[in-house]
């Protein structure tokens, strides 16, 4: 079996990171995220594109959004060197979905389908250790002592982008920009929707079955 080309889609809080890690472990593919791809190509020479800056890193250091054309080029580079991948966090809009179609052939488009109220529960309940970055949840993954990290004893805090207002905003952005991407793939043979409200193990059972069916 050749290494699969997988796109994973889902709102913030749907569990893409957890399932991507499972896919990497089970199928030996690379986890390609826009954030990682940008960080590992910070010094890429984009001076020929005639943008404000000559490298992606300069945009990141200035806190500015990296232009779509630069993100597209970086994702294309990452996919071209990967022997199988799970792509996570791209495409974020229809223009990028059309770019991706020119870059690569997908074996499977996975969509982790989770209701908005459940997503809000997951996002606003998340707590992160200030010292070591370990993740917890007030409902689903509680530490042994409330507010204290099991790993290192650090204080658990709510990240700024996990407050209710920020979480609502992140979901609004997803629904406006990325939900049309889900609809773009929905009518294709490669599309599989998975019930993301199951337990992580149950979701993984469905995800693995979908990958095996797509790569037979």
Which residues are catalytically annotated?
A: 16, 92, 126, 159, 170
* Residue 13 labeled ligand binder: yes
* 91 prior amide bond cis, ω within 30: yes
Q: Is 139 annotated as a binding residue?
A: no
Q: Is 188 annotated as a binding residue?
A: no
Distances (CA, A) of 4 to 17, 121, 153: 18, 32, 40
Spatial contact of 168 and 120, defined as CB atoms under 8 Å apart: yes
- CA torsion sign for 52, 54, 58, 64 is positive
158 is in an annotated binding site: no
132 annotated to a ligand binding site: yes
Phi, psi of 191 (to 5 degrees): -80, 130
Q: Is 14 annotated as a binding residue?
A: yes
Q: Is 16 annotated as a binding residue?
A: yes
Binding residues for ATP: 13-18, 126, 198
Binding residues for AMP: 34, 39, 64-66, 89-92, 96, 159, 170
Binding residues: 13-18, 34, 39, 64-66, 89-92, 96, 126, 129, 132, 149, 152, 159, 170, 198
């Amino acid at each position: 079996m050749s290494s699969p080309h997988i796109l994973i889609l889902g709102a913030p809080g749907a569990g893409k990171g957890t399932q991507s890690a499972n896919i990497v472990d089970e199928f030996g593919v690379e986890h390609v995220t826009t954030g990682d791809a940008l960080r590992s190509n910070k010094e890429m020479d984009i001076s020929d594109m005639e943008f404000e800056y000559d490298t992606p890193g300069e945009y990141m250091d200035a806190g500015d959004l990296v232009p779509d054309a630069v993100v597209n080029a970086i994702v294309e580079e990452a996919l071209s060197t990967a022997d199988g991948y799970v792509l996570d966090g791209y495409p974020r809009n229809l223009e990028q979905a059309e770019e991706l179609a020119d870059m690569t052939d997908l074996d499977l488009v996975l969509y982790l389908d989770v209701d908005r109220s459940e997503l809000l529960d997951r996002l606003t309940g998340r707590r992160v250790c200030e010292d070591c970055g370990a993740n917890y949840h007030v409902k689903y993954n509680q530490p042994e002592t409330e507010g204290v990290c099991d790993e290192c004893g650090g204080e658990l805090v709510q990240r700024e982008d996990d407050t209710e207002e920020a979480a609502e905003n992140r979901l609004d952005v997803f629904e406006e920009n990325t939900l049309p991407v889900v609809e773009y793939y929905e009518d294709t043979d490669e599309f599989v929707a998975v019930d993301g409200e199951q337990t992580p193990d149950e979701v993984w059972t469905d995800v693995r079955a979908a990958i095996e069916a797509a790569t037979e």
